[in-house]
Amino acid sequence: MPAPSTAAAVPEIPRLALPGSRLRRLGIDTGDELVAYLRSDSPICRAEGFSAHSRIELRIGERRIEAMLNVVHGELLAADEAGLSESAWLRLRPGPDERVVFAHAPSVESLAHVRAKIYGHALESGQIRAVMRDVAARRYSGMELAAFITACSDGHLSFEEIMALTEAMVDSGNHLHWPNPVVVDKHCIGGLAGNRTTPIVVAIVTALGLVMPKTSSRAITSPAGTADTMAVLAPVELDLGQMRSVVERTGGCIVWGGAMNLSPADDVLIRVERALDIDSEGQLVASVLSKKIAAGSTHVLIDIPMGPTAKVRDAQQGRSLSQLLQRVAAGFGLQLQALLTDGGQPVGRGIGPALEAHDVLAVLQCRPEAPADLRDRALLLAAALLRQGGLLHDEADAYLLAARTLASGRAWTQFQAICAAQGGLREPGRAAQQYPVASTLAGRVAAIDNRQLSRTAKLAGAPLAPLAGLSLDVRLGDRVDVGQPLFTVHAQSRGELAYALEYVSRHPRIVEVVPP
């Protein structure tokens, strides 16, 4: 006869579901945060003691979301009504006569692992996987996400944790698989204003027969990401089926990865990293490589710009990041090459989605006014991918082939085909508000601050206002006269223009001019 158990049996306690409420779409933009609104004197708040910032569950049949509760005092809502933010409404998708049932949200067990990380403990693979699973399910508040990101920043992730974080991010979403033995991709780690090489590179290498299904992210800490710039030129929010169709027709695409649920946990973290202006090395590596692995890439080129005001300040830091990227990539069977490039000044003239799009078109169309530095950098990266993809082995031959493909118009024809397949090529506009910032000295341009230029462009409205940003009118070493424009701020409203110019007035050395 088996010995009696000493553990008490714990009955399964049904979670309380509260009465249904009518829903109202309040039209409040809360970003990615799901927010519900109830009156302070509603029966639901009275019955359960819900208070501001409570985590609650909302259910309509099989559909459910978890949201943060905001409590309304006044007549905005009726006592039996519940309001939803735009993100919550779009996620729950309520019908015209459907009523929502409220319940207490289940506790988020993985937060214990976040607290452990805050106190300096290393996390095991299963613990990181649990955190990413809850992050992808949007069960973390913005404050909790910020705590996790901060706890993992500044070198606080070991190599084993970075590997586990990368794998957990990959497993949080969809995986793409391609029939081709070689699928190439590139990524720039950022920190360099402008530098919109990706559309040019994709056009060149796919025109020559390589397959490059490029999934790009929105801006994290910059005035524009590749997806932001490409969205000015063509639709980028394609689903998996649409993306496959574009790649089958043209050999490549340039789309927003977030629309295809590739590494969705990373997409959630990116939004908070943008607000915190944090992009630490371990999280950067996991973020970049998880997207490449999930997208089905086999060969990846990483551009690492180095400069005193770039994300990577010197060659030592660049080599360290390059080695870490290569170690992690090797662990997943990914062929990776890192190029350490010059990040001493912006690449191209435009900084901001539409302004960078104008630069891209000028290079692809081989116009005389096209920025030579953007053209040369794109050719360098395209040549490296041609070698990685096995088309050529000699560096000089690869560069020459890339240059001929651009000069002949083949790359421009290919780019037009990609845009047409994605939904149609559009002409980027120009901002109504423009203000040139002039030099107060005669002399030589001695330094250009990438970070302060990017900050100015963001204060002007970029990337959310796609026409906003700034255009750079000088390069390092140029001689300038008093009153000559150094850069021009572009904004879509007078208020944003004034906001950016106030910052410029407090930072007179964004472009530093020294006497001859």
Per-residue pLDDT band at 274 (split at 50, 70, 90): confident
Query: 254-293: buried (b, 16+ CB within 10 Å) or exposed (e) per residue?
Result: bbbbbbbebbbbbbbbbbbbbeeebbbbbbbbbbbbbbbb
CA distances from 196 to 6, 237, 394, 509 (A): 66, 19, 26, 25
Angle at 315 between CA 334 and CA 200, to 5 degrees: 55
Residue 491 lies in a domain: yes
Residues 74 and 117 in one domain: no
Q: Residue 178: its pLDDT value, please?
A: 94
Q: What's the confidence (pLDDT) of residue 254? A: 97
Closest CA to 189 of 408, 339, 356, 377: 339
Q: What is the percentage of the chain residues whose pLDDT exceeds 90?
A: 74
Interval 156-163 mean pLDDT:
96
In a domain, 90, yes or no: yes
Domain membership flag for residue 3: no
- Measured CA to CA, the distance from residue 361 to residue 365 in angstroms comes to 6
Whether residue 367 sits in one domain with residue 243: yes
Please report the pLDDT score of residue 20 as a whole number: 59
Judge if the upstream peptide bond of residue 463 is cis by omega within 30 degrees of 0.
yes
- Final residue belonging to a domain, choices 50, 74, 104: 104
pLDDT of residue 133: 95
Contacts of 453 (CB under 8 A, 6+ apart): 193, 346, 351, 470, 472, 487, 510, 511
Instruction: Tell me the HSE value of 51 on the side-chain side, using a 13 A CA sphere.
Output: 1
Over residues 391-404, the pLDDT tens digits come to 999 999 999 999 99
Summarised one tens digit per residue, pLDDT across range 376-424 is: 999 999 999 999 999 999 999 999 999 999 999 999 999 999 999 999 9
Instruction: Label the pairing between strands 479-480 and 55-60.
Output: unpaired
Active-site residues: which are they?
A: 279
Q: What is the DSSP string of 421-459?
A: HHT--------SEEEEEE-SS-EEEEEE-HHHHHHHHHH
> Does residue 22 sit in the same domain as residue 134?
no
Contact 349, 361 (CB under 8 A): no
Tell me how far apart the alpha carbons of residues 410 and 413 are, in angstroms, rounded to a whole number: 5
Band of residue 272 on the pLDDT scale cut at 50, 70, 90: confident
CB-based contacts of 475: which residues, under 8 Å, 6+ apart? 345, 373, 445, 448
Does 4 map to a domain? no
The DSSP bridge partners found for residue 444 are: 479, 514
Task: Report CA Rg, the chain.
Answer: 25
Give the whole-angstrom CA distance, residue 275 versus residue 218.
13
Report the alpha-carbon distance of residue 5 to residue 28 in Å, rounded: 54
Poorest-confidence range of 267-271, 333-337, 359-363?
267-271
On average, the pLDDT of the chain sits at 91
CA distance 500 to 107: 43
Same domain, 346 and 248: yes
* Contact between residue 458 and residue 467 where contact means Cβ atoms under 8 Å apart: no
pLDDT at position 51 is: 78
Q: Are residues 329 and 478 in the same domain?
A: no
Residue 48 confidence (pLDDT): 65
Number of residues written out for the chain? 516
417 and 443 inside one domain: no
Are both 391 and 294 inside the same structural domain?
yes
Q: Pull the structure tokens for residue 111.
A: 């937060």
Helices (H), 80-122: 86-92, 111-118
Is it the case that residue 5 has pLDDT exceeding 80?
no
Same domain, 146 and 63: no
Lowest mean pLDDT among 42-46, 198-202, 497-501: 42-46
**CA 29 and chain centroid, separation:** 19
- State the pLDDT at residue 277: 73
CA separation for the pair 209, 111 (Å, rounded): 47
pLDDT at 343 over 80: yes
Instruction: Determine the Cα–Cα distance for residues 247 and 337; give it in Å rounded to an integer.
Output: 23
List beta partners, residue 69: 36
Per-residue b/e over 137-166, b at no fewer than 16 CB within 10 Å? ebbbbbebbbbbbbbbbeebbeeebbbbbb
365 and 235 share one domain = yes
- 141 pLDDT band, cuts 50/70/90, is confident
| 275 pLDDT more than 80 | no
How far apart (Å, rounded) are the C-alpha atoms in residues 323 and 305? Answer: 15
Is the confidence at residue 234, as pLDDT, over 70? Answer: yes
For residues 12-23, average pLDDT: 55
Give the count of domains, the chain: 4
Q: Report whether pLDDT(259) > 80.
A: no
Expressed in angstroms, the distance from the first to the final Cα of the chain is 99
For residue 152, give every residue at least 6 positions away whose Cβ sits within 8 Å of its Cβ, in sequence order, or none: 117, 161, 165, 280, 282, 283
Q: What is the pLDDT of residue 497?
A: 97
Per the model's pLDDT, the better-predicted residue between 97 and 490 turns out to be 490
Q: In the chain, what percentage of residues exceed pLDDT 70?
A: 95
Evaluate whether residue 317 is within a structural domain: yes
Range of the domain at 330: 184-260+273-422
Same domain, 160 and 210: no
pTM: 0.86
Give me the pLDDT at residue 221, please: 72
Q: State residue 270's pLDDT score.
A: 82
Q: Looking at residue 18, what is its pLDDT? A: 46
pLDDT digits (tens, 9 = 90+) for 73-89: 988 998 888 899 999 99
Inside any domain, residue 117: yes
Which of these ranges, 25-34, 365-374, 426-435, 475-484, has the smallest mean pLDDT? 25-34
pLDDT at site 12: 47
Work out the average pLDDT over 112-134.
Answer: 96
In terms of domains, do 200 and 281 share one?
Answer: yes
pLDDT number for residue 19? 52
Each residue of 439-497: pLDDT tens digit?
999 999 999 999 999 999 999 999 999 999 999 999 999 999 999 999 999 999 999 99
The domain that contains 61 carries what CATH number? Answer: 2.40.40.20
**Does residue 375 lie in a domain region?**
yes
DSSP label at 97? Answer: T
Q: Which residues contact 317 (CB under 8 A, 6 or more apart)?
A: 306
- pLDDT value, residue 80: 83
Is there a contact between 232 and 361 (Cβ–Cβ < 8 Å)? no
Q: Is residue 176 part of a domain?
A: no
pLDDT at 52: 79
